[in-house]
A and B are shown apart, each in its own frame.
Chain A
Amino acid sequence: DAKTTQPPSMDCAEGRAANLPCNHSTISGNEYVYWYRQIHSQGPQYIIHGLKNNETNEMASLIITEDRKSSTLILPHATLRDTAVYYCISKSSDSNYQLIWGAGTKLIIKP
C-alpha cells in the first residue's frame, strides 16, 4: 500500500497557485518525496522530488516540512493544462525500487 495520503480532489482557479498537500508521516530517513502527474490515461509525468530541503524547478515548487511528515506541491500559476491526477510517492534513494502508487489528488483547474 502507498505510504502517503492525499485529498482525493481539489479545485483551483486558472492563474492562481495550486497547493497540493501530502502526508507521509512514516517516511524513512533515506526516502525521497516524489511527485508525478497523470493527464487522462497518459504516462505519468515526473514533476519534482526532494529529501529535506525545499526544491524548485520550471514546473513546480516542493515544500517539505522540517519533520518531513508532510509536503506541499505548488504550481505557481495554474493553467487548464495542469488538470490531472497528482501523485505523491515516497521512495528510497536506491535506484531500482518500485514506485508505490496511491489514488492521488484529482486537480481540476477552472477557468
Chain B
Amino acid sequence: EPEVTQTPSHQVTQMGQEVILRCVPISNHLYFYWYRQILGQKVEFLVSFYNNEISEKSEIFDDQFSVERPDGSNFTLKIRSTKLEDSAMYFCASSLKGTQYFGPGTRLTVL
C-alpha cells in the first residue's frame, strides 16, 4: 500500500541553523501539507500546497518557513533560522481528494 515517507526521522540542530525536512508524498496525490506537533500538544496546521504554490498557511508559517516541490516526488519544508520553540514533530501529509494521509514524522530538536 502506498505511503508517505519522511526523512530524516530525527534531526538535531543548533539554534539559528537552517534545516530542511523532506517528504515523499504518495505518487498520484496532488495536495501536500505540513503539520507540526509540539510535545504534549495538539497537531497544528502549517501549510498546504497545490499546483506548485501555497494554497493556505497558518500564522505559524512565517517568513522563516518555506516549502518547495523541487521535483516530481519530493516535498520539502525549510526553516531558515531555527529557534528553540521550533522543536517539535513535523508531519507531512498528502491527498488526492479529501482524505489526507500522513507520514511518520520528523522529530526536530533545536539546541
Main secondary structure of the interface of A (DSSP, over half): loop
CA distance A41 to B37 in the complex (A): 9
A101 touching B56 by the CB < 8 A rule?
no
Indicate which residue in A41, A44, A94 contacts B102 across the interface (CB closer than 8 Å).
A44
B25 contacts the other chain (CB 8 A) = no
A49-B98 contact in complex given A97-B56, A102-B42, C-beta closer than 8 Å? yes
A95-B31 contact in complex given A44-B91, A100-B45, A103-B42, C-beta closer than 8 Å? yes
- Residues of B in contact, count (CB < 8 Å): 32
New A-B pairs, 10, CB < 8 Å, besides A38-B43, A87-B43? A41-B39, A43-B103, A44-B91, A46-B99, A95-B50, A95-B97, A96-B48, A96-B55, A97-B48, A99-B43
